Amino acid sequence: MIEYVGVLGPPEALNYPISVCDTCREQGVERGNVIWGTTAGAPGLRRGTPIHVAHKGRCDAALDLWFAQVYFDADGWMQLSEELDVFARQLARNATKPLSAGDGIRTYPLQLALPRLAQETR
């Protein structure tokens, strides 16, 4: 997950965004993946998951298993991933030079879908 952490000065207290592995909760996901799900391609409203981060290897594999348990293929979910450094570069680029219709971008209404197991425990 991308999280904000507070760092006490000097010269002042600041908040910094960091990558935290959603499996082991360790910071510094240098060789990690960003993982999310979508129902893109389905007619009408598009659903999307929160964006997750995991170290490559065991953490990534564990997150894949969890994802399959809470977002089912039968419901039209498709899991996607990107290497963390590639994702960060793309995000930084789009923050200063947004994509436009001329770039072939299409946006759709999006419904954020929280994990099924978390919803069932409420």
pLDDT of residue 120: 47
pLDDT of residue 119: 46
Terminal Cα distance for the chain, rounded: 22
The C-alpha angle 29, 51, 14, rounded to 5 degrees, equals 60
Highest averaged pLDDT of the listed ranges 9-23, 31-45, 101-115: 9-23
Interval 32-46: pLDDT, tens: 999 998 886 656 677
Interval 72-88: pLDDT, tens: 776 778 889 999 999 99
- Domain ranges for the chain, please list them: 2-98+107-113
Q: Which residues contact 54 (CB under 8 A, 6 or more apart)?
A: 21, 22, 23, 29, 32, 33, 35, 60, 62, 63
Q: Are 27 and 20 in contact (CB under 8 A)?
A: yes
Q: What pTM, to 2 d.p., does this model score?
A: 0.75
Give the residue-averaged pLDDT of 17-27: 90
Inter-CA distances, 39 with 109, 116, 119, Å: 12, 15, 19
- pLDDT above 90 (res 53): yes
What is the chain's mean pLDDT, rounded? 81
Q: Which residues contact 63 (CB under 8 A, 6 or more apart)?
A: 22, 23, 35, 52, 54
